[in-house]
Structure 1
């Protein structure tokens, strides 16, 4: 069964009407009753380095390199590690083994929690020990 022109017209009208409604909703003033509201929007930014709005810090593995190689976080910060390489890597603290992601397959992510005490923890990829970084907790 094929659609005749009148059916196509009704569909086009419905789609067009939905677009108009969405456009009007996007232009609304949020229902505050004032169209002259000049109050500036407020934003907040995290003061912790290399963190997103979720409070987590990020390490990216790409081209057999940790980025950033030196990451500073607060005690107990969640650290998300994203492996953008085509091979498996780890993020493993040397010495006291304060953290270890285990194997992170290509294209996957892993998380760990930064130590609860201040200090620096050098880390490596145990599969590729030439890959090095430092996590500083302060």
Structure 2
């Protein structure tokens, strides 16, 4: 009787291990839950990187910023629009000045005017694998 109880316990443990492993594998495919690059997204969306004057737009959709990199002259106002169904931010990590949109729900926008030349790296705080760059040219 003890042997059959031990075998049953081992089988139950194996079933639990398989279920936990399957759940972990499924979670790896979910954006924002697991990033195999340790927080760096090496497959950034490719934008045009075109220089614009006056204003420029960044689209947030499918857990990505587009375009990136974006090149603009000093004095340009960039507007981010969240077209995703989940909240995102545009938060600077480096550059001559800092910006932070706070959480943007679907359809909300945030604008920032770049007054200093330089390279601005930014990301989404709840989804740190979402990274992008704005290059501000001029003096």
For the aligned pair, the TM-score class normalised by the smaller chain equals: 0.5 to 0.7
Q: Segments of 4+ in structure 1 off by > 6 A?
A: none
Q: CA deviation at 1:51?
A: 4.0
Please, what is the CA RMSD of the aligned residues?
2.0
Rounded to whole Å, the distance in 1 between the matches of 2:122 and 2:80 is: 13
> Gapped runs of 5+ residues in structure 1?
1-47
> Gapped runs of 5+ residues in structure 2?
1-48
Residue correspondence of structure 1 range 123-138 to structure 2 within 5 A: 123-138=122-137
- Matching of residue 108 in structure 1 with residue 105 in structure 2: no
Q: Which has the larger radius of gyration?
A: 1
Residue correspondence of structure 1 range 66-105 to structure 2 within 5 A: 66-95=65-94, 98-105=98-105
TM-score, normalized by length of structure 2?
Answer: 0.58
- The structure, 1 or 2, with the larger RCO (C-alpha pairs under 8 Å, 6+ apart) is 2
Say if 1:89 and 1:125, in contact at 8 Å, map to a contact too: yes
For the residue of structure 2 that corresponds to 1:79, the secondary structure is strand
Rounded to whole Å, the distance in 2 between the matches of 1:51 and 1:102 is: 25
In the TM superposition, what whole-angstrom CA distance separates every residue of 1:41-97 from its partner, at most 9, and x where no partner exists? xxxxxxx93648xx2111000100000021111112111111110011011110366
- Give the equivalent residue in structure 1 for 2:50: 49
